[in-house]
């Protein structure tokens, strides 16, 4: 691993566990075991480093979700695969999902739009789920009024649930399974009909 990569990895860990403000250049360089000056040399400002780190994690997440949901046939199958992959990613080794939880409120609002931005990458994630839900509406495996609206609710739950799991002290062991069951019950078409 190059020193540049070591810095990025250390940054992802520290931003994720300590948050943006509590993560300093000094901590990052010490954890990476390289000189302080290299941070500015390779990544410029702290803000830029943070956004870049988020971008990498988010791209990994979107790729993972695309691959996972592609393994299903029906809309319902693919929706559940999407959700399971999301939750798995949040607790996967080295996925650095925690970092994304830090970025939501603090930084997202201030970033510009346009391709190649966090905004644009998040949009992919939203659109992916929306398309899956639309398919489910067409193949009758889902019983939802609006793919767009349901997408919002599901993503709210996935983000809220992973936050509960990773940051709260009110955890339960089966949370992720419970969330998946909850979603399934709410969106699956009643086969009896």
Is the torsion defined by CA of 130, 135, 138, 139 positive or negative?
negative
Part in contact with a second copy (CB under 8 A); list of ranges 52-60, 81-89, 130-138, 141-149: 141-149
Part in contact with DNA (CB under 7 A); list of ranges 33-41, 102-110, 143-151, 159-167: 33-41
Part in contact with a second copy (CB under 8 A); list of ranges 56-64, 84-92, 121-129, 131-139: 121-129
For the CA atoms of 52, 117, 45, 99, the dihedral, rounded to the nearest 10 degrees, stands at -40
β-strand partners of 142: 188
User: Would you count residue 8 as binding DNA (CB under 7 A)?
Assistant: no
DSSP characters for 117-182?
SHHHHHHHHHHHHHHHHHHHHHTTSB--S-HHHHHHHHHHHHHHHHHHHHH-S---TTHHHHHHHH
CA distances from 12 to 33, 37, 179, 192 (A): 15, 18, 27, 48
In the complex, the smallest distance separating the C-beta of residue 52 from a second copy, rounded to whole angstroms, is 20
Q: Which does 156 bind (CB under 5 to 8 A by kind): a second copy, DNA, none?
A: a second copy
User: Would you count residue 14 as binding a second copy (CB under 8 A)?
Assistant: no
Residue 173, exposed/middle/buried by CB under 10 A (0-12, 13-18, 19+)?
exposed
Q: Which does 16 bind (CB under 5 to 8 A by kind): a second copy, DNA, none?
A: none
User: Would you count residue 148 as binding DNA (CB under 7 A)?
Assistant: no
Task: Annotate each residue in 144-173 with x if it binds a second copy (CB under 8 A) or - if it does not, as one string.
Answer: -xx-xxx-xx-xxxxxxx-xx--xxxx-x-
Binding site for a second copy (CB under 8 A): 19-22, 101-102, 104-106, 108-109, 119, 122-123, 126, 145-146, 148-150, 152-153, 155-161, 163-164, 167-170, 172, 174-175, 178-179, 181-183, 185-186
């Amino acid at each position: 691993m190059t020193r540049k990569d070591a810095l990025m990895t250390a940054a992802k860990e520290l931003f994720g566990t300590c948050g943006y403000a509590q993560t300093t250049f000094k901590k990052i360089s010490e954890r990476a075991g390289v000189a302080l000056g290299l941070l500015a040399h390779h990544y410029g400002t702290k803000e830029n480093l943070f956004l870049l780190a988020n971008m990498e994690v988010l791209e990994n997440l979107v790729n993972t979700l695309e691959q996972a949901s592609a393994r299903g046939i029906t809309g319902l199958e693919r929706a559940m695969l999407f959700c399971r992959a999301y939750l798995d990613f949040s607790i996967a080794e080295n996925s650095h999902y925690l970092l994304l939880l830090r970025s939501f409120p603090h930084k997202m609002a201030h970033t510009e739009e346009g391709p190649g931005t966090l905004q644009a990458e998040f949009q992919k994630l939203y659109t992916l789920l929306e398309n899956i839900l639309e398919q489910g509406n067409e193949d009758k495996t889902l019983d939802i009024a609006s793919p767009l609206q349901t997408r919002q609710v599901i993503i709210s739950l996935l983000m809220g649930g992973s936050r509960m799991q990773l940051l709260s002290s009110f955890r339960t062991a089966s949370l992720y399974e419970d969330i998946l069951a909850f979603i399934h019950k709410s969106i699956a078409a009643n086969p009896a009909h």
